[in-house]
Chain A
Amino acid sequence: MKTKIKNIIISFSFLGALLFLMVASIIAPDIDISNSERRTLLQLPELSWDAVVNKDIDGDRYFDNLEEYLLDQFVWRDGFRTINSATRRYAFMQKDVNDIFVLKGNIFSMYYQFNEKAVEQFAGVYNKVISRYFSKNGANIYYTIVPDKSYYASEANGYLSINYDKLYSTMQNKLSDHTYIEIRDLLDINDYYKTDLHWDQTKIIDVANKILASMGNEGNVSLEDFEQKKFEGFEGSYYGQAALPLKKDTLIYLTNEMLENCKVSYLDEGEFGKTGKVSFIDVPMYAEEKLGGVDSYDVFLWGARSLIQIENPNCDNGKELVIFRDSFGSSLAPLLASEYSKITILDLRYVKSDFIGFITTFSDNCDVLFMYNSALVNTPAVIF
């Protein structure tokens, strides 16, 4: 190739690429929410002389905010994120990118710093709740810790791993008056979604049975008891973080006539926040409208909710189960429903323990189960 032609090609191709991507970014409509990143994207900042010259509350001027907006709204943003992730993983052979690593198509989040104070604070909140609401009503207190899926993969594959034994023993020492239900031995890496942090509801039947048995229930559940409903193309929360073209999951949720007959309702938090009035909104057990949204796992009991009640008309034993849980509990709770007339599900991340008495009451001799995942237990100040 003649040098002159080469120079012309270099000049026009580079400048052409800049102009093409500029025009494409301008033409492409702005997006409100990034499903892959699970966050709202910035919109065009308002231009004013004051914004250009003076810094805002975050210490940024107009052009700083404009840069952030242009980054968020850059054309083919997800594609570029994939290029970045692939470059780091395959060209630079980084073991993780932003603490996300992939093993045979299975995505993990790496965390390894044991936070003893966080674990103790977590247990402290449990004890506070027990002391305040369950010390005089004859409740039976149980707790378990759901192992996050890194438990089954990090250390064995050369990744940094938290000292799980220390985490579990710290929790057990602080809750020694209550019954611990060990479930780690019932799970393995295949029981979790590949693209998500959560477990697969179809793989936790044995976990449900152990918990039921530990709480003195005679009945148990079997996969055959349920109809499996499937949602193909499930992109779990790690899928967007990994930003790689990995195989998506199939999300399966279990239902049957008994579950469909249950009355499910969640606290109308908006109404409670505005007026202080406790009212509930009746909903189906599974939020099918959430499938394909920002987080399809919200199909289980409507995602992040402070208080949900499941009343089972097919169970007349009068027993109540109270579960303090995170999203792992959302997929487990339906599997426990057959043994209880009522299940009250609370998430201490969304309702401060001091306020529980304002939104619900508990029956005497109820079973109480605390179940949060190990990563959350190790995180400071998530429940109060």
Chain B
Amino acid sequence: MRCIVLLFSSITFLYYFLPIVIVIYFLVPKKLKNFVLLIASLFFYFVGEPIYSILMICSAFSGWAHGLLIEKFRGTKWSKVALISSLVVGFGLLGFFKYSNFFITNINNLFGLKGDASIGLLSIALPIGISFYTFQILSYTIDLYWGRAKVQKNPFDFATYVALFPQLIAGPIVRYTTVQDELEHRTHSFEDIAYGVGRFAIGLGKKIILSNTLAEFGAVLAGLSEKTVLSYWVYAIAFTLQIYFDFSGYSDMAIGLGRVFGFHFLENFNYPYISKSISEFWRRWHMSLGTWFKDYVYIPLGGNRVPLGRWIFNTMVVWMFTGFWHGAEWNFIIWGLYFGVILILEKFFILKFFDKLPKVLGSIISHTYTLFLTVIGFVIFNETSLAGVGKTLSAMFGGEGLAFSNSETIYYLRSYIAVIIVAAILSTPLLKKLGEYICSKKIGNSIVSVLQPVCYIAILLICTASLINGSFNPFIYFRF
């Protein structure tokens, strides 16, 4: 079965959907622009999820209607009831479609229910992007209740916000407050379009040229006739890079497309692999999710202004849900809790230890420590079962009796080493800083100005070539 969605990195999207939508969008008068975006977004979703389009429309309608009720009954208990109702509907739908089978499976396992005695699994597929648009809708109703957001009375404008195709299926989680003004009053300029186009091209390149090649490398390593300790480590590192370029590439494309249409979405990634602690890593990785949980879960639970035991509890709850948000599997929960434990240890011990080290040594150790734990984290993330997590970690640390290396591992490592090196360099701000330095010089700026459009077209053509060649085109964040 092939991928069932209108990917940004697909020919259908790139060469048909996108140019047609952009042309129509800029041809129609201002008052029709949201309508064009709404229709385009619904079609975009319909292509991938014909039936679940109705679910998304219902969710959007629910969020809009609850917003009206919250506003109408503001100052009364009914406003809170409306908020709770919106939370029940939102989390209820998310829970039903995403987590039902997880709970059924675990209840069956817990009580040893087998065969006819077991609870049957539901025959439901996970609606694409439900985790993202549910969190967006709830950010609206919660912020509205708290008085941070303005009520949206126009159901079409609200549906446009929920369904906006640039960020619909893979984020970033755009809060209503971020775009509430731009939904009604936004401007368009060549500056924004050029920025958006450039950002989109960079994201496309990250996704297709780097992430897909790394995914292909991973598939090669997974299919080796004889795996080795080294192949497990290289696989883990390749996946760590792949998931970054996959997700941040998609975020870049979303932010870029948003900008083309006049929206200013917040950043979602800020070079997470240069972090010197896991705390810092999570301030740089999937920032829209991290701040969502911080603002809507962690702080309402009391944040850090609570006794120590309660704070540890709050932290673990937040990280358990962060993991669980990523998927209805135990490994995601373990993954979240893993980071929760590390963050607690960092707060009390590890960061204090790093602070005591000499600057250069401390920097090397802390960076190595962070990358190591991040790679291990993504091993947990990438496996589909706890047994798989245990087996892979065991193999990485020599517990499976594997040879350290062999000719097959070395051959493929050599074959893909350039991709790994390029990806590793581009996961740091080195190129960005180099570009800024060159642009700070007059001649450099002139050269960059000429090269910029050429580079964007070159990236587009290389990406197109890769797609046409039928290269790997997986997308990790669809399952969320």
Which residues of A are at the interface with B, using a C-beta cutoff of 8 A? 1, 3-4, 6-11, 13-15, 17-19, 21-22, 25, 52-53, 55, 58-61, 63-64, 66-68, 70-71, 74, 77, 80-85, 87-88, 91-96, 112-113, 158-160, 243
Q: Is the CB of A70 within 8 A of B449?
A: no
CA A60 to CA B5, docked complex, whole Å = 10
Q: Is the CB of A22 within 8 A of B16?
A: yes
B465 CB-CB contact with A under 8 Å:
yes
Q: Is the CB of B465 within 8 A of A95?
A: no
B456 CB-CB contact with A under 8 Å:
yes
CA A80 to CA B20, docked complex, whole Å = 23
The smallest C-beta distance from A132 to any residue of chain B, in angstroms, reads 35
- A-B contacts, 29 of them at CB < 8 A, read A4-B191, A7-B191, A7-B193, A8-B190, A10-B193, A11-B193, A11-B194, A13-B456, A13-B457, A14-B457, A15-B19, A18-B19, A22-B15, A52-B50, A60-B2, A60-B4, A63-B48, A66-B12, A67-B2, A68-B2, A70-B11, A70-B12, A80-B465, A80-B468, A81-B468, A83-B462, A84-B465, A84-B468, A87-B466
Residue of A10, A25, A84, A159 near B469 (CB, 8 A) is A84
- Majority-rule SS of B interface residues: helix
Residue of A61, A71, A84, A95 near B11 (CB, 8 A) is A71
Going nearest first, the 5 A-B pairs with the smallest beta carbon separation are A59-B1, A7-B194, A83-B465, A84-B465, A10-B194
Closest residue of chain B to A87, judged by CB? B462
Which residues of B are at the interface with A, using a C-beta cutoff of 8 A? 1-4, 6, 10-12, 14-16, 18-20, 22-23, 47-48, 50-51, 189-191, 193-195, 197-198, 201, 209, 213, 225, 407-408, 411, 414-419, 422, 446, 449-450, 452-453, 456-457, 460-462, 464-471
By a CB distance below 8 angstroms, the chain A residues around B462 are 83-84, 87
CA A4 to CA B408, docked complex, whole Å = 52
CA A60 to CA B2, docked complex, whole Å = 7
CA A113 to CA B406, docked complex, whole Å = 13
Residue of A6, A22, A80 near B449 (CB, 8 A) is A6
By a CB distance below 8 angstroms, the chain A residues around B416 are 92, 94
Residue of A14, A66, A74, A91 near B456 (CB, 8 A) is A14
By a CB distance below 8 angstroms, the chain B residues around A10 are 193-194, 197-198, 452-453, 456
Q: Is the CB of B12 within 8 A of A67?
A: yes
CA A10 to CA B194, docked complex, whole Å = 5
Q: Is the CB of B12 within 8 A of A6?
A: no
By a CB distance below 8 angstroms, the chain A residues around B4 are 60-61, 64
Q: Is the CB of A160 within 8 A of B456?
A: no
Q: Is the CB of A70 within 8 A of B16?
A: yes
Most B CB within 10 A of own CB, among A1, A68, A77, A82: A1
By a CB distance below 8 angstroms, the chain B residues around A113 are 225
By a CB distance below 8 angstroms, the chain B residues around A25 are 15
By a CB distance below 8 angstroms, the chain B residues around A87 are 209, 462, 465-466
Contact A64 to B201, CB < 8 A, known contacts A74-B11, A77-B468, A83-B462: no
Closest residue of chain B to A66, judged by CB? B12
By a CB distance below 8 angstroms, the chain A residues around B2 are 58-60, 64, 67-68
